[in-house]
Structure 1
Amino acid sequence: MASPAIGIIENYFTCEFTTVARDGSPQTWPVSPRLLDDGRLLTGTSIGLPQKAYNIRRSPKVSMLFSEPRGSGVTEPGAVLIQGDATAEDRIVSDIATEPELAALAETLFRRQPAGALWSTWLGRRLWWSYYMRILIYVTPRRALYWPTRDFTQRPEELDPNEIRRVG
């Protein structure tokens, strides 16, 4: 049986993804990552909005806070903080179908946000072509914290980052 923390990572629609800007300040974006079988998390950025990739190439330290359960179906919502090292690939993926992990991420996104499926139609790709030209970002967890109740005044449980894996 998957731990509640894995359920949060797999079912929350978004997390707050934080990188370090050139001046050392944090920069945070909402992203919808996918937990891969090997325990890494996959997200990406479009070539039109590459700041996440620039920041990661300068400083690979990132965090992902899964704190908002709205719409997830998780009945006992908690929060999970992943701190880790990210890599932003140098190549640009222009066809999602050529990368199985990216195709799985896209499938997850369309399931979570069905209205977004319009953008994958011929018309959507024509209007917003740069969105589909992706730079892949992989996060390797180094530390994982879990709050069973989202009460951040309480001490979190420390999880073994090696146990963050997809189940089933």
Structure 2
Amino acid sequence: MASPAVEIIENYFTCEFTTIARDGSPQTWPVSPRLLTDGRFLLTTSIGLPQKAFNIRRNPKVAMLFSEPTGSGLTSAGAVLIQGDAIAEDRIVTDVATEPELAALTETLFARQPAGAFWSSWPGRQLWWSYYMRLLIYVTPRCALFWPTRDFTTAPIELDLNEVQRVV
């Protein structure tokens, strides 16, 4: 049985992913990361929208806040904050099938957003081919905080990072 924090990570459709911009201000995007078996997270960015990668290369400190339960199917909606260090790979992946972890992330995305499957069809790929040229981003957690009720006025519970791992 997965911990409540892992259930949130695995079932919330998105999280708020924050990097640090060149001027030191936070920049936040909605992303759908995948928790890997080794406890790291995988997310991607398109080469057409590489700002996340640029920011990570300047400052690897990132945060991921899983706070929005809409569509998750969870009856007890908490929140999880992951703070960690990210690496944005230099290589460009053009075929998701060549990377098993990326293929698994893609399957998760299509299950959660079935309308997006059009963009994987031949016409969709012809219209927006650059979207499929992906930079992989790996996040290694350094701190994990849990709010069982999403009441951010209360002190969070600090999680043992061993709790924030996918159980296979």
Q: What band does the TM-score fall into relative to the shorter chain?
A: over 0.9
Matched with 1:31 is 31
Matched with 1:127 is 127
> What is the CA–CA distance in structure 2 between the aligned matches of 1:26 and 1:18, rounded to whole Å?
6
Matched with 1:3 is 3
RMSD (Å), alpha carbons? 0.6
Alignment of 1:91-102 (within 5 A): 91-102=91-102
Alignment of 1:62-81 (within 5 A): 62-81=62-81
Q: What letter matches 2:3 in structure 1?
A: S
Q: Describe the superposition over 1:20-51 as per-residue Cα deviations: whole angstroms up to 9, x where unpaired.
A: 00000000000000000000000000000000
> CA contact under 8 A between 2:3 and 2:163: conserved in structure 1?
no
Q: What letter matches 1:77 in structure 2?
A: A
Matched with 2:12 is 12
Q: What letter matches 2:45 in structure 1?
A: T
> What is the CA–CA distance in structure 2 between the aligned matches of 1:130 and 1:160, rounded to whole Å?
39
Instruction: State the number of aligned residues.
Output: 168
How big is the shift at 1:164? Answer: 1.4
Q: SS of the counterpart of 1:106?
A: helix
> CA contact under 8 A between 2:63 and 2:84: conserved in structure 1?
yes
Q: Percent identity?
A: 80
> CA contact under 8 A between 1:39 and 1:163: conserved in structure 2?
no
Alignment of 1:33-52 (within 5 A): 33-52=33-52
| Over 4 Å off, 4+ runs | none
**TM-score under structure 2 normalisation?**
0.99
Matched with 1:88 is 88
> CA contact under 8 A between 2:6 and 2:163: conserved in structure 1?
no
Q: SS of the counterpart of 2:155?
A: coil
> What is the CA–CA distance in structure 1 between the aligned matches of 2:37 and 2:120, rounded to whole Å?
25
Matched with 1:159 is 159
> What is the CA–CA distance in structure 2 between the aligned matches of 1:125 and 1:18, rounded to whole Å?
28
> What is the CA–CA distance in structure 1 between the aligned matches of 2:54 and 2:4, rounded to whole Å?
33
**TM-score under structure 1 normalisation?**
0.99
> CA contact under 8 A between 1:96 and 1:102: conserved in structure 2?
yes
> CA contact under 8 A between 1:84 and 1:143: conserved in structure 2?
yes
Q: Describe the superposition over 1:103-149 as per-residue Cα deviations: whole angstroms up to 9, x where unpaired.
A: 00000000011111111101111100011000000000000000000
Matched with 1:58 is 58
Q: SS of the counterpart of 1:24?
A: coil
Matched with 2:139 is 139
> CA contact under 8 A between 2:62 and 2:86: conserved in structure 1?
yes
> What is the CA–CA distance in structure 1 between the aligned matches of 2:162 and 2:2, rounded to whole Å?
14
> What is the CA–CA distance in structure 2 between the aligned matches of 1:36 and 1:56, rounded to whole Å?
20
What residue ranges of structure 1 are gaps of 5+ in the alignment? Answer: none
What residue ranges of structure 2 are gaps of 5+ in the alignment? Answer: none
Q: SS of the counterpart of 1:87?
A: strand
